[in-house]
Structure 1
Amino acid sequence: MNTLIVLQIGISSFFELDNLYQVFVTRNKMLFVDDETEFSQKLSLFDYGLKVINRDSVIEVCLLSDKVLDERTLFVFDMNVKEIKVEVKRTVYQMLSRFFKPLSKWGILVGIRPVKLVHEMLDDDLSLDLIRDVLSDKYFIHPEKVALMTEIALRERPHLVPNDISAISLYLCIPFCPTRCLYCSFPSNDLKQKGKRLPEYLEKLAAETIHAVNHIYRLGKKVDCIYIGGGTPTSIDESQLDALLGMIKSHVNLADVKEYTVEAGRPDTITRKKLEIMKKNGVNRICINPQTMNEQTLVTIGRAHDAKSIVDVMKMAKEIGFKTINMDLIIGLPGETVHHTSDTLDKIIELAPENITIHTLAVKRASRLHEDLDYYELTHDQMVEEMMDDAELKLRKHGLTPYYMYRQKKMVGHLENVGYAISGHESLYNMRIMEEKHSIVACGAGAVSKICAPEENRFERVANFKGLEDYLDRFDEILLKKEILE
Structure 2
Amino acid sequence: MIRISCRDESYYYNAYHMVKAFFPGEEVVSLPGEKASPFVRADFADGSSLSLEAPAGVLDGAAKRELDRDWYHLLAKKTERKLPWGILTGVRPTKLAMQKRQENWEKDVFLEWFEKEYLVSKEKALLAWEIAGREERLLRRLDPEKGFSLYVGIPFCPTVCSYCSFSSGSLLDWKDRVDDYLQALMRELSFLSERCEGKKPDAVYIGGGTPTSLSALQLERLLDDIADKFDCRNLLEYTVEAGRPDTITEEKLKVIQEHGITRISVNPQTMQQKTLDLVGRKHTVQDTVEAFEKARRLGFDNINMDLIAGLPGEDAKDMQDTLGKIEALGPDSLTVHALAIKRAARMGREDQKAGTGDEIADMTKEAALAAERMGLEPYYLYRQKNIAGNFENVGYAKVDKAGIYNILIMEEKQTILAAGAGASSKIVLKKPCPMPGSRKKKMTNLIRIENVKAIDAYIDRIDEMTERKGEWLWR
State TM-score, norm by structure 2. 0.90
Q: CA deviation at 1:35?
A: 4.3
Secondary structure in structure 1 of the residue aligned to 2:21: coil
Q: Which residue of 2 aligns with 1:485?
A: 473
| Residues 94-121 of structure 1: per-residue CA shift (max 9 Å, x gap) | 4444544345211110111111121122
Task: Please point out which of 302, 307, 324 is paired with 1:346.
Answer: 324
**Residue 167 of structure 2 corresponds to residue 191 of structure 1:** no
TM-aligned CA distance change 1:14 to 1:447, over 3 Å: farther
- Which runs of structure 2 are paired with 1:263-302 in the superposition (5 Å)? 263-302=241-280
Choose 139-148 or 84-93, whichever is displaced more.
84-93
**CA distance in structure 1 between the partners assigned to 2:83 and 2:164 by the alignment:** 24
Q: Which residue of 1 aligns with 2:448?
A: 461
- Which runs of structure 2 are paired with 1:133-148 in the superposition (5 Å)? 133-148=112-127
Q: CA deviation at 1:194?
A: 2.3
**CA distance in structure 2 between the partners assigned to 1:25 and 1:378 by the alignment:** 13
Choose 96-105 or 425-434, whichever is displaced more.
96-105
**CA distance in structure 2 between the partners assigned to 1:367 and 1:273 by the alignment:** 32
Secondary structure in structure 2 of the residue aligned to 1:186: coil
**CA distance in structure 1 between the partners assigned to 2:131 and 2:186 by the alignment:** 35
Task: Assess if the C-alpha contact under 8 Å between 2:24 and 2:389 holds in 1.
Answer: no
TM-aligned CA distance change 1:84 to 1:293, over 3 Å: same
Q: Which residue of 2 aligns with 1:226?
A: 204
Secondary structure in structure 2 of the residue aligned to 1:369: helix
Q: Which residue of 2 aligns with 1:180?
A: 160
Q: CA deviation at 1:147?
A: 1.0
Q: Which runs of 5+ in 1 are unaligned?
A: 51-60, 63-71
TM-aligned CA distance change 1:109 to 1:247, over 3 Å: same
**Residue 356 of structure 2 corresponds to residue 356 of structure 1:** no
Report sequence identity in percent: 37
Secondary structure in structure 2 of the residue aligned to 1:403: strand
Q: Which residue of 2 aligns with 1:93?
A: 72
Q: Which runs of 5+ in 2 are unaligned?
A: 433-443
Task: Please point out which of 37, 40, 55 is paired with 1:73.
Answer: 55
TM-aligned CA distance change 1:139 to 1:209, over 3 Å: same
- Which runs of structure 2 are paired with 1:28-43 in the superposition (5 Å)? 28=26, 32-36=30-34
Q: Which residue of 1 aligns with 2:355?
A: 379
**Residue 431 of structure 2 corresponds to residue 451 of structure 1:** no
| Residues 78-105 of structure 1: per-residue CA shift (max 9 Å, x gap) | x4xx445434423422444454434521
Task: Assess if the C-alpha contact under 8 Å between 2:55 and 2:67 holds in 1.
Answer: no
Task: Assess if the C-alpha contact under 8 Å between 1:408 and 1:416 holds in 2.
Answer: yes
**Residue 234 of structure 2 corresponds to residue 256 of structure 1:** yes
Secondary structure in structure 1 of the residue aligned to 2:239: strand
Q: Which residue of 1 aligns with 2:4?
A: 6
| Structure 2 letter corresponding to 1:171 | Y
Secondary structure in structure 2 of the residue aligned to 1:74: coil
| Residues 356-413 of structure 1: per-residue CA shift (max 9 Å, x gap) | 111111222222212112xx35322212211111111121122111111111122222
Choose 233-242 or 207-216, whichever is displaced more.
207-216
Task: Please point out which of 207, 231, 237 is paired with 2:215.
Answer: 237
Q: Which residue of 2 aligns with 1:67?
A: none
**CA distance in structure 2 between the partners assigned to 1:366 and 1:29 by the alignment:** 15
TM-aligned CA distance change 1:75 to 1:165, over 3 Å: farther
**CA distance in structure 1 between the partners assigned to 2:92 and 2:402 by the alignment:** 18
Q: CA deviation at 1:27?
A: 6.4
State TM-score, norm by structure 1. 0.88
Q: CA deviation at 1:244?
A: 0.2
**CA distance in structure 2 between the partners assigned to 1:75 and 1:161 by the alignment:** 42
RMSD: 2.4
Task: Assess if the C-alpha contact under 8 Å between 1:402 and 1:418 holds in 2.
Answer: yes
Task: Please point out which of 113, 136, 146 is paired with 1:157.
Answer: 136
TM-aligned CA distance change 1:265 to 1:42, over 3 Å: closer
TM-aligned CA distance change 1:17 to 1:276, over 3 Å: same
Aligned residues: 458
